[in-house]
Amino acid sequence: MHPTLSPDKGRSRPGRLAAALLILVAAMILGAPQAMAQKGGYTLGALVPLTGPLAARGRTAQAALKLAETDIRSYLAGAGSGESFSIAIEDTGSNPGKALAALKRLTDKGIRLVVGPASDDETAAVEEFASQKGIALISYGSAAQYLARKDDLLFRLCPSNTYQAEALTALIKQEGHTVMIPLWRGDTVGDELVVHAKARFKQLGGEAAAGTRYNPDRTDYAAILDELARETENIRAANPKAKPAIVFVGGGEVAPIFKLAAKHPVLAGLPWFGSDATALNDDIAKDPESAAFALRTRFTAPRYGEGGANVYTQIERRIAKETDQFPDPQSAAAYDAAWLAFLAAQTAEALDPATLKRFIPLLAERTYGVTGWLALNEYGDRREDWDFDFWALGKDGDTYFWEKIARYQLEPGLPKELYLGSPKK
């Protein structure tokens, strides 16, 4: 079911709301095209998970890229250029090895500008090859801090996991919890996010417990939940005034974990928080046992925030119309990534690595997309314009649905603020 949305509450954002789709401004500032990616037109590549566990995300990203393709063609036609434009989309299968094979297929076609990949694992698998071949990657979904490197050809429009940890711990602290007890999948993303969350929560004056880590290939979760319950009981015994909360960082295993956790009174009696991998998770909403547990524990998870400008809403609706699926913000970022890649191809004198390293950050600094200001930091990652929305499960009769209950909002140059009480669009 589509999330419930209503008008924003909180600080107004005149810079965003007053802006039309300024993603074309960079081209106007930098002047007319000096060179084309190929004679007579432009062809970009895209790495999208159309099959596998990330296929739902891939469908909306594919729709966003198709919309970008249509809009860029209209832009070229309106400018009277007579040039063609296309995006060659390759399926990564939600798999790092398949993502690398897909990138090699794009390379064989002579493509040097690629939108994607969608995930950290896929990005890690293709980054070295892309760098060796001089291929620029503009990812719309990768957020792991360990992939942030200077002087490479990876550019990312999704905010870093360090920001997610900051947003998550701000809400946990705001709700009065004094101890954070993590339960997480032991992969690079889970390990990194938990490390950042623990450090941030300690900075806020809270206590971060050791928590429970499990292997990604694990399928039996009874033992790890027993361990988590024992740790929770020990924390309460040592300090009866402690107000603990569970932080779950995992993915598709969330539903079976919730079912088992419901059998532990100590775990079912605590509030639970999640990460972006579990926000808006259909497996929870469609499974009555998991949904009941999420409702009982007020399970709340952050996700890269929806844009506040009208252009974001328009793209969101267009994607939903094409897919009959509520799009996540990464899909809107894919739309922006396609435009950024196109503008780089249109304005660069050549698509060699040195030129791409220079032009893409320069264009991003001057570009306002549907997801906001695309400015990048020294690592090529989203620098300024990011927010996180918090989603929790609601119920209407026998139907469970996701609703937005809070927002951690950044206004460039101002302190970050947490808004509670359904600050929805």
Quick check: 237 and 257 in contact, CB under 8 A? no
Average pLDDT, consecutive stretches of 10 residues, N- to C-terminus, the chain (425 residues): 30 34 39 40 96 92 97 94 94 97 97 96 96 96 92 93 94 96 94 96 97 95 97 96 97 94 96 94 92 97 83 92 89 96 87 90 93 93 88 93 91 75 46
Three-class SS state of 273: strand
The pLDDT of residue 210 is 97
Tokens 């398949």 — which residue? 98
The pLDDT of residue 409 is 87
How many Cα atoms occupy the beta-carbon half-sphere of 130 within 13 Å? 33
Tokens 């497996």 — which residue? 283
The pLDDT of residue 290 is 96
The pLDDT of residue 421 is 64
The pLDDT of residue 18 is 31
* Angle CA 105–50–285, to nearest 5: 160
CB atoms within 10 A of CB 241: 6
Q: Which fold has domain 162-304+387-420?
A: Rossmann fold (3.40.50)
The pLDDT of residue 411 is 73
How many Cα atoms occupy the beta-carbon half-sphere of 271 within 13 Å? 18
CA distances to 72, 103, 105, 347 from 111, rounded to whole Å, are: 18, 9, 9, 16
The pLDDT of residue 38 is 46
Three-class SS state of 135: coil
**CA–CA separation, 184 and 225 (whole Å):** 11
* Angle CA 336–339–344, to nearest 5: 125
Q: Where are the domains of the chain?
A: 14-160+306-373, 162-304+387-420
CATH number for 14-160+306-373 (one of 3.30.540.10, 3.90.1150.10, 3.30.2270.10, 3.40.50.2300): it is: 3.40.50.2300
The pLDDT of residue 348 is 81
How far apart are the two ends of the chain, measured CA to CA in Å?
A: 17
Q: What is the largest distance, in Å, between two alpha-carbon atoms of the chain?
A: 74
Tokens matching residue 118:
């969608």
Tokens matching residue 88:
């060659």
DSSP 174-214: HTT--EEEEEEE-SHHHHHHHHHHHHHHHHTT-EE---EEE
Quick check: 328 and 280 in contact, CB under 8 A? yes
Quick check: 185 and 250 in contact, CB under 8 A? yes
Fold match, 14-160+306-373 / 162-304+387-420: yes
Residues 6+ apart with CB under 8 A from 19: 309, 311, 368
**CA–CA separation, 36 and 404 (whole Å):** 43
